[in-house]
Structure formats: structure tokens, C-alpha cells
A and B are shown apart, each in its own frame.
Chain A
Amino acid sequence: MSDVFTVPRPRRNVEALLLIVALTVAIGANWLVGLDKENPFDSAFWLQGGTLAALALIFHVLLRFRAKYADPVILPIVIALNGIGLAMIYRLDLALPASSQPVAPSQFLWTTVAMAASIGTLLVIRDHRILRRFTYISLIVSAVLLMLPLTPLGVEINGARIWINVGVGTFQPGEVAKITLAIFFAGYLSTNRDLILLAGKKLGPLQLPRFRDLAPMVAAWLVSIGVLIFQRDLGSSILFFGLFMAMIYVATSRVSWVLIGLAMIAVGGYAALQLFSHVALRIDSWINAFEPEVFNRNPGGSGQVVQGLFGLANGGLAGTGLGQGRPDLVTYANSDMIITALGEELGLIGLFAIVLLYILLISRGFRAALGTRDGFGKLLACGLSFTIALQCFVVIGGVTRLIPLTGLTTPFMSAGGSSLLANWIIVALLLLISENARRPAVKGPVREAFPDGKQNRNSPATGTTREVSA
């Protein structure tokens, strides 16, 4: 946990300039995909561009007042990614037959809701350390969120029961659960790191933690994995398990944890392969993707992935140009396969730019973790950036046939409101942590770190005598 030195500077003007470029990318993409329409500059275009710019401006002004030292590149990167995603979803709508329901308007609505939620998070949570008080509440909230789809509220779509019906539409509570789980892991590990590390038996080179120190972690792990097995959602269970492993590794810096985790993944994967037919089909359609009978098999065929690969090949180096390709031939082109749709129309050159934007975003998250001074903030920033990184890896790796395809959303891009909402809240949290990291350190007498009085993270030893702290 090194404190990396940088001269404190607000750099909000840099953010303003980058936002202009990012908005040009977002609105430009939207304009380019509508070029073939009779009237590309219709009211919907202006409404969408205007709202995006206005929300970005509000966000920027808020940061100037509330979090002056926050990282200047996170917001522009996210605006650009979200804008490119919106444009591609709109473009795929245009290729749909007129009878089907367009996706872009609801995605746009969700973008405004998500950005508003992110702004709200910044306003309500002025300091990320407040979240540490909600360590155990977060665990309960995560459990409830993950259980919700199993209740009568739940809706089953394509074999996975991970959505709930909220009247106006469906919502995926697991997306929000990844934030609350990260808060729990960060709060728990930052308090109990030493106990997990130091207390317990030694078994050869491995230091085994005592069970009662690890019990809440195991409970969290069982809840997330167990519920996800019942909901048959492989992607989310990989995401939660990865988050769990990454945070425990960051907290303890023990490679043995990673090895234990990998072994558990191998055992779990083998069990899933034997128990669940859909997992076995996934693996088969990954290895033998180009076999004709695998390609046409329904369900569990490789048609979607292979069509995506054909799309990427069609795009080549420079792409077919936005609105010029046929990404609509791939099923779920606007959600799971949006990366191949973009790869087809923007080519390898454009896709690499997008991947680089993700890498820069994630690296800024880790940078905030390096810079911030409290253990909880470090762990939370690491965990949240890691979820974005892992989602990118699983999705992009899946559609390019590096790993078997699992259903996870591409952060900020693919169609899906709950994912957008969760990721924008993550952005707000990362901005808060980066503000804490980059703000000049308080010199002189140390102030109270927790704004509203001292809090008890530990229960007092046995409550015998207590000194009143001055």
C-alpha cells in the first residue's frame, strides 16, 4: 500500500476539455449511424445529444464544487463509452423490422436515470468512508438482492432466473449486488485483515486462517455462488467469485489464496460440467465452434459466437463504417455481442481504441486505490475496478472465443438498464475515492477522519471500564 506522490492539482479544466472530445465522439457516433435515414437531424437526435451533454455538464459542475480533486479522465471515458454504446444500439434498432420494439429509447432513458443516480450518489455520499459503517448491512442487502429473483417477483429469461419484474420493466438485482458485496468485502477485510493473516494454524508453508475469522466471508461466498447456481447464471457467479478472490488477495497479499481460489474454480467448474447440461454445451460450442452440427444446435449452439467472428472478419482492420455493416445478423447484437458489432463497423482500429478506453478507466480506478490513504477505500476501489475489468475480460474474451461465452454485460455499452445503473454508481464511488486520493494531505493536527463522530467497528473488549475520549 504505497502512497504515490503527485502534486495536488484540481485539473477540472482538463476534464472539461476531455468531456468536449468525449461528447463529440458520443454525438458524432449517433449522427453517423443515422446518416442513411431521410432526416438524420430529427428531434430524437437533438434530444438525445442535448440531454447527454447537459447531464455531463451538470456532473462536471458538481465535481467542481463537491470533489474538486477527483480524477479528471474517468467521467469523459465513461461518457464516450456510454455514447458509443447508445449509438450502436440505435443503429441496430434501425436495422430491425419495423414491427419490433426499439431498444434505444429505453436504453437512453436508463442512461439518464443512471447518470442521475450517479450524481445523487456523489451528493449523498460525500466521503466513501461512510460506507464502512454499512459493512454488515451490505452483506444482508446483497443476500436479499440475490434472492429476489427466486421469489415470485422473479422472471425467467433464456433459462436464467436473474431478473425481477418491477412494473415498468425488468431489473437485474445481481448487478447492484456486486457493489454491495464489494462494500462488504472491503469493510470486513480492512478490519479483520490481521486476524485472517496472523491468527490460525500453520500447515507447511500455508497459513490457514481460523474458521470464525473467515466465516462471514465464506457465508458471503456461499450466498453468491449458491444462489447463482439456482439461478443458472454462470457469468455472475464468475464475477462474484473473481471479486472475492481479488479482494482477499489485495487485502492479504498471499499468493496461496489465489492458488486455493483457482483450485476451487477447477473443482466447481468440473462439478458444473457434470451437473449442468448447459455448461457442458457451452464448453462444447466453444471448442468445436465451427462444426456444422454444433453451429446449428438449438439450444447451446455456437451460431451466435461464430456469426460474431464472421462479423469481426468482415470488419477487418478499419471496419465497414458505422451503419454500413450487418451486425444485426448476430442474435443479441445489442447486448452480449455489442463488442463484435462495434468490431465489425469500427474495425480492429476502433475496437482497440475502445479496449484502451476500458484499460485507462480501470487503471484510473487502481490508481485511486494506490493513492487513497485508508485501507477500506483502497480495497473498495480495487474491488470495483476489478469488477469492470473482469466483466470486460469475460465478455470480450467470450465473443472472440478466447474463453467460453458467458452472459455478462459489457460495462456502459450493452443494452440493459440495471448494468448501466450499477456501473454509473461505481463511477461515482471511484470518483469519490480518487478525490480522497488526490486531495492535498491535511497538514498540522490530524482531524477526525470520520465526519460524524467516532464509530465503533470493533465491539469494546468486554465493556468493563470505559474512558471518555477527549
Chain B
Amino acid sequence: MSDLTVTLLRYGFLLLIWILVLSVVSALRRDLVVGRRNRTGAPSARQARRHPELAEEPPARAQARRLVVTEGPLKGTSLDLASSPILLGRAQEATLVLEDDYASGRHARLFPQGSRWFIEDLGSTNGTYLGGNQLTRALPVEPGVPIRIGKTVIELRP
């Protein structure tokens, strides 16, 4: 094989690897750029037409400032929300110690993310219910929506 062919093949291979790299990058074009759309999470008009479920506008929210126990043994207790997560359960280290036989030691956790509070079940025996549905993953909590843990019901208040 002539030197010319070998040289061409050599550069051809380098070109080929870079074609692979660039085609991977171009396949990810939208994913790689952290643009305005990705940051805010707002779909474009076209995407909203194709996937109507994405176009839901989140309603304007009031900032939650207090946690109030509305039912259960601790009824009437309230707690000011700071910026740190809150552990709910019967264990002594919990932020809000629930004196409730139906709650687990470390039952659930409330944590702030952005402007909202989220609740996450920590693998409790009897589960955590947000507005009547059992939690299977962390979900945002709107002020006024009841969270049921055992016989205790708590709410966030603005």
C-alpha cells in the first residue's frame, strides 16, 4: 500500500473519531445547553402544542411560613419554617416529635427546594398521605393541603 494511501487513512481515522464526537454532541445539542428554556423549565409553544400536559401553568403560590398540626394528639402545635429540612416522626431526634402510635420513628421529611416545600416519605410503615394520596416520591406541598401521618394531620400555612 502506498504512503499516500496510508497517510490518507491515518487522517481519515482521526476525522472519523471527531465525526463521532461531533455527532454525539449534536445529538445532545438541546440537552447540553443550559439555556433559558432548560433553566426555567417552560416548554416552547410548539412543544406545548404537541404535549398539552406540559403547558400547565403553575398557579401563583403563597410562601409557606408556618407548619400547623390540625388533627391528632399534638393538635394546635405550630412550628415556624426556616430554611432547613424538617424531620417528622416519633424518634427523639425528629424536628417535630409525633406522639402518635401510627407514626414510624423517622416517618417523613419536609424540605425546601426553590420557593416550595416538598414532602418525602422515609419508608414509614403506614405511609404518608398528601391530600388523600399516598406518597411514593417527594412531592411539593402547597399551603393548606393536609398531610396525614398516622392519626396526625399537618398543614403548611402562609
The answer to the question of B133 belonging to the interface, with a C-beta cut-off of 8 Å to chain A, is yes
CB pair A461 B19 closer than 8 Å: no
CB pair A461 B105 closer than 8 Å: yes
Bound Cα distance from A447 to B136, whole angstroms: 7
Interface-centre pick from A17, A76, A319, A321 (highest chain B CB count, 10 A): A321
Interface residues of B in 106-152 (CB under 8 A from A): 106, 109, 113, 120, 122-127, 133-139, 150
CB pair A374 B137 closer than 8 Å: yes
Bound Cα distance from A3 to B137, whole angstroms: 13
CB pair A469 B126 closer than 8 Å: yes
CB pair B43 A321 closer than 8 Å: no
Bound Cα distance from A466 to B125, whole angstroms: 8
The answer to the question of B4 belonging to the interface, with a C-beta cut-off of 8 Å to chain A, is no
A-contact 0/1 string along B1-31, CB 8 Å cutoff: 1000011011101101111110111011011
Q: How far is the CB of A285 from chain B (nearest CB, A)?
A: 32
By beta carbon, the residue of chain B nearest A76 is B24
Q: How far is the CB of B122 from chain A (nearest CB, A)?
A: 6
Interface residues of A in 7-29 (CB under 8 A from B): 7-8, 11, 14, 17-18, 21-22, 24-25, 28-29
Interface-centre pick from A18, A77, A356, A461 (highest chain B CB count, 10 A): A461
The answer to the question of B80 belonging to the interface, with a C-beta cut-off of 8 Å to chain A, is no
Bound Cα distance from A145 to B135, whole angstroms: 37
CB pair B93 A4 closer than 8 Å: no
By beta carbon, the residue of chain A nearest B25 is A360
Q: How far is the CB of A195 from chain B (nearest CB, A)?
A: 7
With known contacts A198-B85, A322-B10, A4–B17 Cβ distance under 8 A = no
CB pair B125 A322 closer than 8 Å: no
CB pair B38 A446 closer than 8 Å: no
With known contacts A73-B28, A199-B93, A194–B137 Cβ distance under 8 A = no
The answer to the question of A357 belonging to the interface, with a C-beta cut-off of 8 Å to chain B, is yes
In the complex, identify which listed stretch (A58-66, A178-186, A342-350, A401-409) lies at the interface while the others stay far away.
A342-350
By beta carbon, the residue of chain A nearest B53 is A443
Bound Cα distance from A3 to B87, whole angstroms: 22
Bound Cα distance from A459 to B122, whole angstroms: 11
Size bracket of the A interface: 35 or more
The answer to the question of B96 belonging to the interface, with a C-beta cut-off of 8 Å to chain A, is no
Q: How far is the CB of A430 from chain B (nearest CB, A)?
A: 15
Residues of B within 8 A of A461 (CB): 89-91, 103-105, 125
CB pair A373 B138 closer than 8 Å: yes
Residues of B within 8 A of A460 (CB): 104-105, 125
CB pair A191 B7 closer than 8 Å: no
The answer to the question of A448 belonging to the interface, with a C-beta cut-off of 8 Å to chain B, is yes
With known contacts A194-B109, A322-B13, A353-B14, A7–B43 Cβ distance under 8 A = yes
21 contacts between A and B (CB under 8 A): A21-B23, A29-B13, A32-B13, A73-B27, A195-B106, A197-B85, A198-B84, A198-B93, A322-B10, A347-B14, A350-B13, A357-B21, A360-B21, A445-B133, A456-B123, A460-B104, A464-B101, A466-B125, A467-B102, A467-B125, A469-B127
The answer to the question of B51 belonging to the interface, with a C-beta cut-off of 8 Å to chain A, is yes
The answer to the question of B77 belonging to the interface, with a C-beta cut-off of 8 Å to chain A, is no
Interface residues of B in 55-74 (CB under 8 A from A): none
Q: How far is the CB of A353 from chain B (nearest CB, A)?
A: 4
The answer to the question of A457 belonging to the interface, with a C-beta cut-off of 8 Å to chain B, is yes
Determine which of B14, B20, B113, B135 lies in contact with A80 in the assembled complex, contact meaning CB atoms within 8 Å. B20
Bound Cα distance from A7 to B51, whole angstroms: 8
Interface residues of B in 73-103 (CB under 8 A from A): 84-85, 87, 89-91, 93, 95, 101-103
By beta carbon, the residue of chain A nearest B101 is A465
Size bracket of the B interface: 35 or more
Bound Cα distance from A1 to B120, whole angstroms: 13
By beta carbon, the residue of chain A nearest B16 is A25
Bound Cα distance from A406 to B133, whole angstroms: 53
Interface residues of A in 368-427 (CB under 8 A from B): 373-375
The answer to the question of A354 belonging to the interface, with a C-beta cut-off of 8 Å to chain B, is yes
Bound Cα distance from A349 to B11, whole angstroms: 10
Residues of A within 8 A of B138 (CB): 373, 375
Bound Cα distance from A460 to B41, whole angstroms: 38
Bound Cα distance from A450 to B134, whole angstroms: 13
With known contacts A32-B9, A357-B21, A18–B125 Cβ distance under 8 A = no
The answer to the question of A327 belonging to the interface, with a C-beta cut-off of 8 Å to chain B, is no
Determine which of A6, A28, A374 lies in contact with B30 in the assembled complex, contact meaning CB atoms within 8 Å. A6
Residues of A within 8 A of B16 (CB): 21, 24-25, 28
Not counting A349-B14, A450-B136, A469-B126, a sample of 7 additional A-B residue pairs whose C-beta atoms are within 8 angstroms of each other reads A22-B20, A84-B17, A347-B14, A353-B17, A457-B122, A458-B124, A461-B91
With known contacts A22-B20, A446-B133, A457–B123 Cβ distance under 8 A = yes
CB pair A353 B137 closer than 8 Å: no
Residues of B within 8 A of A375 (CB): 120, 138
CB pair A446 B134 closer than 8 Å: yes
Residues of B within 8 A of A22 (CB): 20
Residues of A within 8 A of B14 (CB): 318-319, 346-347, 349-350, 353
Bound Cα distance from A22 to B127, whole angstroms: 47
Q: How far is the CB of A1 from chain B (nearest CB, A)?
A: 7
CB pair B20 A21 closer than 8 Å: yes
Bound Cα distance from A350 to B18, whole angstroms: 8
Determine which of A32, A191, A373, A467 lies in contact with B123 in the assembled complex, contact meaning CB atoms within 8 Å. A191
Bound Cα distance from A199 to B105, whole angstroms: 14
By beta carbon, the residue of chain B nearest A465 is B101
